[in-house]
Amino acid sequence: MPAPEGRVAEREGEALPNAISDETGLPRQEPEDAGRNLLAQAFARENMQRAWKRVKANKGSAGVDGLDIAQTAEHL
């Protein structure tokens, strides 16, 4: 179909001629010890104390080790 008078037909379809791909890039390469800092934070004394207080306030039941709150307190 010819272009209407006054318009210039440059392309067909909806895609832009210089469209940038929306594909994601390669995954970030993290150092092998990237999780160590996270683990250190999880087991930090302050974090463990906060977790203990939350479990104690919730009257938490025995964990996988079978120890209840009182038994764990004795062990610690």
pLDDT of residue 6: 60
- Per-10-residue mean pLDDT of the chain, 76 residues long, equals 60 64 70 77 91 85 83 84
If phi > 0 it is left, if psi is from -120 to 50 it is alpha, else beta; for residue 53 that is alpha
pLDDT of residue 45: 92
pLDDT of residue 58: 81
pLDDT of residue 32: 72
* Sequential DSSP letters for 9-70: ----SSS-TTPPP----PPP---TTHHHHHHHHHT-HHHHHHHHHHHHHTT----TT---HH
Nearest to 75 by CA among 41, 43, 57, 52: 52
Distance CA 72, CA 19 (A): 61
